Amino acid sequence: MALRELLRLVSGLTRLRAMPFALLALVVVTVVHLGAQVVAPDGVLADLTQILLMPALLWVLLAGTPNPKSLLVRLVGVALVLSWLGDTLPRFTADGSDLGFGLMLGAFFLAQLAYVAAFLPFASRSIIRRRPALLAPYVILLGVVVAVSAQGAGALFPAVLLYGLVIVGMAVLATGIDAVATIGAVLFLVSDGLIALGAFAALELPLHGFWVMLTYVLGQTLITLAVSHRDRTLAARQA
């Protein structure tokens, strides 16, 4: 069902004038970046393409939504810009430094707050109201990641816990958009969970950076596509 809905969203987007170019740019940058994550994750190409991912996705958002931009679109745009800052600012600090990690965490924390503000008007459509029993997997996932990361986080633990609560709140509220946004938010959760496990518990998958970035890009892309569709639907109803 979610796959069918996603294909319908993409099919509708490609009919918009600038959308094919925006989607092509996003696909090219993503493929090159993921390839670089496999071949040379610490190389220049991986760094350069990572800071191009969110601008390409922002282009997709802007090209896929009508003018004037709604509050939903503006807030999601802010979240993408803050995500870009999270990808970019640590590159101006020493590799692996606490400052770089703090800048990344702070930028993404603000990005999650922007997403929460964007999705809050749809809370009545989310599992909070419709299927509260489904909150359990989100709580369990948060609990596992926090428990495994607690010792290694040290003084950063309160900030990590707060960030975890906010991103889980974002993922829960995303269920009020549609199934595509739900899957995207869960992938975003997985990406951040992998980062936390690698940073604080020294638990890494083979090609860890590849999986972190794959889930990150797919998650943000699915959220953006779902928001674009929801915004066009709301605009059509109002018209």
Domain that holds residue 162: 2-238
Q: In a structure prediction context, what are the per-residue pLDDT tens digits for the chain, which is 239 residues long?
A: 555 665 565 655 555 666 778 889 999 999 999 999 999 988 999 999 999 999 999 999 998 898 899 999 999 999 999 999 999 999 888 877 778 888 999 999 999 999 999 999 999 999 998 898 999 999 998 888 888 888 787 888 888 888 989 999 999 999 999 999 999 999 999 999 999 888 888 888 899 999 999 999 999 999 999 999 898 888 877 76
Cα dist. 77→40, 51, 71, 102, 227 in Å? 30, 16, 10, 22, 11
Cβ–Cβ under 8 Å, residues 123 and 135? no
**Cα separation of 180 and 174, whole Å?**
9
Number of domains in the chain: 1
